[in-house]
Amino acid sequence: FRAVPDDGGLVDADEDKDIKTEASNDSWGNNNANDGRLLSPSPGSSASAGSNKSAAGASEEQQTLLAVLQFLRKNKLTESVEILRREAGLPEDSLEPKGAESSGAGSGGASGGVDLEGGDASSLLTAGEDQPDVNVVLSAYSQQGDPALYEVYYSGLKRFIESVLDCHRAELSQVFYPLFVHMYLELVYNNHESEAKAFFEKFSGDQECYYEDDLRVLSSLTKKEHMRGNETLLDFRTSKFVLRISRDSYQLLKRHLQERQNNQIWNIIQEHLYIDIFDGMPRSKSQIDAMSGSLAGEAKREANKAKVYYGLLKEPEIELPLDDEDEEAENEEGKPKKKKPKKDSLGSKSKKQDPNAPSQNRIPLPELKDSDKLDKIMYMKEATKRIRLGPDNLPSICFYSFLNAYQGLTAVDFTDDSSLIAGGFADSTVRVWSVTPKKLRKVKSAADLNLIDKESDDVLERIMDEKTASESKILCGHSGPVYGISFSPDRNYLLSSSEDGTVRLWSLQTFTCLVGYKGHNYPVWDTQFSPHGYYFVSGGHDRVARLWATDHYQPLRMFSGHLADVTCTRFHPNSNYVATGSSDRTIRLWDVLNGNCVRIFTGHKGPIHALAFSPNGKFLASGATDGRVLLWDIGHGLMVGELKGHTDTIYSLRFSRDGEILASGSMDNTVRLWDATKAFDDLETDDFTAATGHIHLQDNSQELLLGTYMTKSTPVIHLHFTRRNLLLAAGAYNP
């Protein structure tokens, strides 16, 4: 089920175990506390290590279930145990033989929701992981070597790597950074403060510049006491740093270390690093640089092997009324005849089931209401008037400037039909504006509603209170800055996520708060409605993304696996997947159905703040503080493009309605348009890269850049294409 280095007998046993737990960490970020056992050298997993080397996912799955059951039982959640057991179809006694004792997992892990007293911002879930022990984690560093020799070892390795053939040097150089960090931490842990400082001083300059931020954190850490409760450190320790190295290079390194009896380094490599060995040509420096940069190295290849149904769902068949009203009236009696060919011509496109699409009912989706159908019809009508964009036909751009936003604009969203705009502000308010002449009105009070003639045709109009009509409404309720905001597709609801740890659902009929979803106990950075409504996703400082349904006050799924804050969340157009960007500089794609992480994308060199799916669902674009936009092929799990040009954080990305143009908005006060068609065309046919995952990116940002558009000292924090492909941008004017 993975590529195991078949020669290193020395490595095997150890590595095997670690890899297993890792794999489960990544792919089983399931609903329940997936990994109480992650860090525990659990008997379960080690017992399985021998047996399931050849056995595939099935038994592993069972292992996981058993572990979960064990966890639940230990916490006396007998009911849950029963339910889970029944659902999984496990025999009653299945727990007994295997689930012996997971004593290694510190006793504290139980009470999932309790905060760590150290105040480090882990979620209840990750708390479950971490709690077992900072001590256990750190104790891994307790091995005593001669502190003076660390420098010798490191520079010895450095000399060796610098002397190897060019083709191997780039690959082996990847070892430097994780090695450096771990050696430094070992020194610090063992109270060799001055040696640690000297070590840092001497070698920190050699590291790749994109690790600068992490190094800064590291350098501020000089005492053993500091290590406790430092997130970055824990991240580094709890997740193995993943390197991809070709077999030849790996052999070279191993031979060298064994020859030199350099156990210190060898131990670190074995304990803290995961080396993903592949057969074939070593990668070049640029290939490596393109993929590295994340907090925990690259993604393992098997992490991106799962099948993703990226196709679009079939559009529901809606009888499109004839454009010509008169014609319809004429053919009143001949209606059925008239309709049929119409339906066919319309449905012919959507009838063909996309082989890559998930089945229509893979996840339950809400049924369409009449009003939704009407809206779909409107959408289709508008779509016929859509402007076809292209390099020669760029969209017009309208800029929505927020004036007098002294309180700080932190989030913006448009409705899909561009009739409403909402802003989240740092003063905890949410404001909604109507951008059409139609004013915003509340529904009348209950007493007044009783007086209305409910049979009348215009009842929907009558329920609105004309006295409340205004251009904008303010929604108060949060107790911290509002960082994320999202309209529901039917325009009846608005979601907002805030620093106060809640997500709130607002009604746009009454302009009141309907629900406060509590679950994230830390700031919630982003939230978004599913394109089909009903579901929404949120992600925050607790490193977990959660899937909710509007009528459940508890999350349906929790997507855990990110090593740092989840900074942005986006739904796939078919609602079956969720993409999350994080400050661990990775992007993960999660399956809504089972909560699995199906893709991990690495390559960004800074926290990711913007994500966008292409309208056909095949591609993902991501923007980060490093000012680059990266393009990903979801089906193959590959990076397919890099768009350089922005000079500051990218806060918004959006594909045009037909996916020909990608618009990016940034803190550097510009909107840039990119030729998405060309960017995706160039790479789609390359089979070799698909097989190996080694990408060659040509530097063609300049060719793909179609235009750069300045604002008047206004950071662009949101972009939106109207149904006719007019580009709307929004931001607060800050002189």
Closest C-alpha to 494, from 573, 580, 424, 405: 424
The two tokens of residue 202 are 């001497």
Using the minimum distance from each CB to other proteins, give the nearer residue, 51 or 708.
708
Question: Interface with other proteins includes 499 (CB under 8 A)?
Answer: yes
Question: Cβ neighbours of residue 357 under 8 Å, at least 6 residues apart?
Answer: 309, 310, 311, 312, 313, 314, 574
Among 194, 371, 479, 698, binds other proteins (CB under 8 A): 194
Question: Interface with other proteins includes 207 (CB under 8 A)?
Answer: no
Stretch that binds other proteins, among 48-56, 196-204, 299-307, 544-552 (CB under 8 A): 196-204
Using the minimum distance from each CB to other proteins, give the nearer residue, 409 or 697.
409
Among 71, 274, 483, 590, binds other proteins (CB under 8 A): 483
- Contact indicator for 47, 79 with CB cutoff of 8 Å: no
Stretch that binds other proteins, among 148-156, 195-203, 319-327, 573-581 (CB under 8 A): 195-203
Using the minimum distance from each CB to other proteins, give the nearer residue, 250 or 400.
400
Using the minimum distance from each CB to other proteins, give the nearer residue, 542 or 591.
542
The two tokens of residue 721 are 């294409």
- Contact indicator for 570, 613 with CB cutoff of 8 Å: yes
Among 33, 67, 121, 676, binds other proteins (CB under 8 A): 121
Site for other proteins in 552-571 (CB under 8 A): 565, 567
* 503-34-76 Cα angle (round to 5): 95
CA distance 441 to 497: 24
Torsion angle defined by CA atoms of residues 651, 656, 662 and 664, in that order, rounded to the nearest 10 degrees: -20
Number of residues in contact with other proteins under rule CB under 8 A: 71
Using the minimum distance from each CB to other proteins, give the nearer residue, 511 or 651.
651
SS3 letters across 156-171: HHHHHHHHCCHHHHHH
Give me the residue label for tokens 């070698």: 203
Stretch that binds other proteins, among 8-16, 113-121, 150-158, 685-693 (CB under 8 A): 113-121
Using the minimum distance from each CB to other proteins, give the nearer residue, 253 or 566.
566
Closest C-alpha to 665, from 631, 700, 711: 711
CA distance 615 to 661: 11
Q: Could you tell me how many residues make up the chain?
A: 735
Least Å from the CB of residue 732 to other proteins: 8
Site for other proteins in 500-529 (CB under 8 A): 522-523, 525
Question: Interface with other proteins includes 673 (CB under 8 A)?
Answer: yes
Site for other proteins in 217-256 (CB under 8 A): 217, 219-223, 225-226, 230
Least Å from the CB of residue 226 to other proteins: 5
* Identity of the amino acid at 2: R
CA distance 183 to 54: 35
CA distance 642 to 639: 8
Among 147, 395, 581, 659, binds other proteins (CB under 8 A): 395
- Contact indicator for 132, 237 with CB cutoff of 8 Å: no
Q: How many CB atoms lie within 10 A of CB 357?
A: 18
Q: How many CB atoms lie within 10 A of CB 490?
A: 19
Among 4, 84, 110, 394, binds other proteins (CB under 8 A): 394
Among 250, 400, 493, 680, binds other proteins (CB under 8 A): 400
Please name every residue paired with 654 in a beta bridge, in sequence order, or none if there are none: 663
Least Å from the CB of residue 412 to other proteins: 9
Using the minimum distance from each CB to other proteins, give the nearer residue, 253 or 717.
717
Least Å from the CB of residue 734 to other proteins: 9
Site for other proteins in 624-643 (CB under 8 A): 625
Q: Where are the beta strands (DSSP E) in 250-356?
A: 273-278
Least Å from the CB of residue 172 to other proteins: 29
Among 433, 510, 531, 615, binds other proteins (CB under 8 A): 433
The two tokens of residue 588 are 């993960």
Site for other proteins in 695-714 (CB under 8 A): 706-707, 709-712
* Identity of the amino acid at 469: A
Q: How many CB atoms lie within 10 A of CB 280?
A: 12
The two tokens of residue 502 are 């809640």
Using the minimum distance from each CB to other proteins, give the nearer residue, 122 or 488.
122
Least Å from the CB of residue 236 to other proteins: 15
Among 128, 489, 607, 645, binds other proteins (CB under 8 A): 607
Question: Interface with other proteins includes 90 (CB under 8 A)?
Answer: no
